[in-house]
Structures are given as C-alpha cells and as structure tokens.
Amino acid sequence: MHVTTHGTESGPPVLLIHGNCSSSGFWEPLVRHLPATWRIAAPDLRGYGESPALGVDATRGLRDFADDVAPLLRALAEESGRPVTVVGHSMGGGVAMQLLLDHPERIGGLVLEAPVSPYGFGGTRDLDGTPTSPDHAGSGGGSANPDFVRLLAAKDRGTEEQASPRNVMRAFYAAPGFDFGEDEELLLDTMLSTAVGEDQYPGDGTASANWPGTAPGTRGVLNTMSPGYLNLSGIVDLPSKPPVTWIRGDQDAIVSDGSFFDLAQLGKLGLVPGWPGEEDCPPQPMVGQTRAVLQRYAEQGGSFREIVYTGVGHSPHIERPEEFAAVLREVVGS
C-alpha cells in the first residue's frame, strides 16, 4: 500500500482516508494548512493512486479497505504512544467507521467529512436504513454512469463530453462554480488514478425485477456500499466511543437527502425513466440517516458535533481548507 507521510514521527498521529475516485493526493490542499509537527499519514486505498488494484470483495462491505489500513493505524498509534485522529472523506468516512468498529481502542477522535451513510449508498428508504427492495435494487456496480466509467478508464482530461472526469469533478466534487485553481490538475490526477473494472471501480451488477432493473453484484467498489453488505450503525453499541466531528457542506450533491448519484432521486426528477413513485422508491435520506445514527451514538455515551458550511459542496477540506484545518487542530488538541 502506498502511503504519503508528512511531519515528525513523534508528533500527534493523524490518519487521512480518501474517498472514491480519488487518492491520497486529494488531501494536499488541506495538508498545507496543518502543523508540520504532526505525524500525518494518507494511504492510497487499493486500486487508487499508487497502490495495487487487488480487487475488492464487496460481500465484506468496506472491510477490505479497512483491513488494509488497520496495520497503518496500529503503527501510528504505537510509534506515537497515543490514539490516532482518523479523518475520512466520503467513502473514506465509511472506511473510518469500519476501523472504529474493529479497532476502537486505537482511535482518539473521528472526523467524518461528507461521509457515506452508515447504511450505505442507495437502496434504502428511511432513517433506519430499511431496504427499498429485497435485492437492494438501485445500489451497487450497476448504478454507475457508463459514460463516466468509460471516460475514467480512458483517463480523459477533456471537457467535450458531459460525463468526463473533469466535468464531474467541477460539477459535483465541490459546490457549483467553485474554482479549483492551481490544484485542478492535481485533483484530476487523483480521479484518473482509479483502477476501473468489475473487480475494482465500479464493480459488477445483476439484473433485477425491481426498478431500476439493476441490483448489486459481489465485486468492486460500489457494491461495498450497497446496503446488502454495509451497515455501520453498530458504532452505536461500542463500549468505548471517541468523539465524532461530522463536517459537511449544505450544497453537497453527492451525499445528501437528494443526491444526484442516487437513482431514486434521479427517477424522481424524471432523469431515469419508469420511477415507481415516492411510496415505492423514495430517495435515500443520507444526511438524515447519518444524523440519526450519531444521535443514538451520543445517547449511548458518545458525543458528536455537526458542522455545516454554507455554500460548500462535497469537499469542505478543499473548499474551506483553513476552516477545516482549524477544526482539525481542535480535535487533535483535545
């Protein structure tokens, strides 16, 4: 596993876990604002950046990713002699929650930035994560935009096609109109480092009799977040609960209660034909689900705070790096 490190080995340990279709380089705009005295480690998850594409067993949820990162978490805790602050972005927030489930004693604080819902991505209808259909139709590898997958595999850097990686990054990785400036090529590089295929991104799919006609397969990235394989709400029952800081933007179009990557929401908007209606297939309340789980986490002896940035999209650490860094300094300092 390729790991980018910063700082001194004796400093407070911070583990940064990137999200889907990115890599450790996606943290660079934030790292510039963090103290040089910290011990920062940012791994490339398997199939991203410079780490090998080992394939992903989606039936384990996000555990393949979490198991890869666990030795790094242990090493950071042991070399510093203190618990680690773990920061996870988007899918990386789910990996961070899985690490918390598996290794709570090594985590001193959890920062979830625009995290995937504890009940996964797509295919659930309410705050308890109830499946919309028995086969979790509408989630998994078959839910990806095929044009985006094709252009991602081709490492397209243009803007000619609507679904090009650059256009997707500009439209959805931050709030509309955000200027990535000099970081745009670096951030696009992280997207284009994604290994594409049925064993990696997006994964495989299966036909379904339920709308929209596709259900999760068993391999690859998007299937790891299908509610058929992923349920992270068990953090509520942990006997040891580090404080959680949840950071999100109010303009997030990827992880929201009306996500433009949720087929049920696209059906509601008339962009995917045949939507059976709100009663049969409502959009997933992603933000509401996360809040409900964290509220139960607090009721059971933990604590959390929710920080919402106005006018910010899916990447607060890039859109508001100085403010994000200030919050992280508070977490590490506590």
Contacts of 93 (CB under 8 A, 6+ apart): 17, 19, 112, 113, 114, 115, 116
The candidate with the shortest Cα–Cα distance to 114, out of 259, 302, 2, is 259
| 10 has pLDDT over 90 | no
| 187 has pLDDT over 90 | yes
| Beta strand pairing call for 201-202 and 196-197 | parallel
| 23 has pLDDT over 90 | yes
Return the pLDDT at 257: 97
| 245 has pLDDT over 90 | yes
44 DSSP assignment: P
Return the pLDDT at 318: 98
Q: Could you tell me how many residues make up the chain?
A: 334
Q: Which amino acid is at 305?
A: R
The arithmetic mean of pLDDT across residues 75-100, rounded, is: 96
- Under the banding of pLDDT at 50, 70 and 90, the label for residue 9 is confident
pLDDT, tens digit, for every residue of 133-179? 999 999 999 999 999 999 999 999 999 999 999 999 999 999 999 99
Return the pLDDT at 93: 98
Domains with residue ranges and CATH for the chain: 3-132+230-333 (3.40.50.1820)
| 116 has pLDDT over 90 | yes
Residue 159 CA to residue 329 CA, distance in Å, equals 37
